[in-house]
Amino acid sequence: VQLQASGGGLVQPGGSLRLSCAASGFTLDYRGIGWFRQAPGKEREGVLCIGSNDGNTYNIDSVKGRFTISRDISKNTVYLQMNNLKPEDTAVYYCAASGSPFVQYCAVVPGGYDYWGQGTQVTVSS
């Protein structure tokens, strides 16, 4: 059972990145999937999540309208599309999946997730 996060990198302010979270050993079809981030010197914070209804639940107002989670069942992968990136979005981003195989409405709290990816660095800088 493994989650593999990828897609991070260096991008200029206003740019876009798409992070991927691929699962092996279990399916992501109807699980709650969350993205969290941790900036240097700060605690890990929840960003947003997706439930089985594929609705996005946001924990940070500043990413609304810029970040979106989507799910590709055929690839067993969840994506975090990040647009109009800002320097304050710089952090290590982690994906996480619920232990329950069915979560209709997700919550962006670490305790709701049992499987974690290794993190991918996103740096927004000119």
Q: Give 50's pLDDT tier (boundaries 50, 70, 90).
A: very high
Lowest mean pLDDT among 7-11, 19-23, 60-64, 119-123: 60-64
- DSSP code of 103? -
pLDDT value, residue 57: 87
Q: Is the model's pLDDT at 59 over the cut of 90?
A: no
Q: Is the model's pLDDT at 123 over the cut of 90?
A: yes
pLDDT value, residue 21: 96
pLDDT value, residue 25: 93
Would you give the distance in Å from CA 16 to the centre of its chain? 14
C-alpha distances out from residue 34 to 10, 12, 13, 15, Å: 22, 25, 24, 22
C-alpha 40/C-alpha 123 separation (Å) is 11
pLDDT value, residue 58: 86
Report phi then psi at 86, rounded to 5: -125, 155
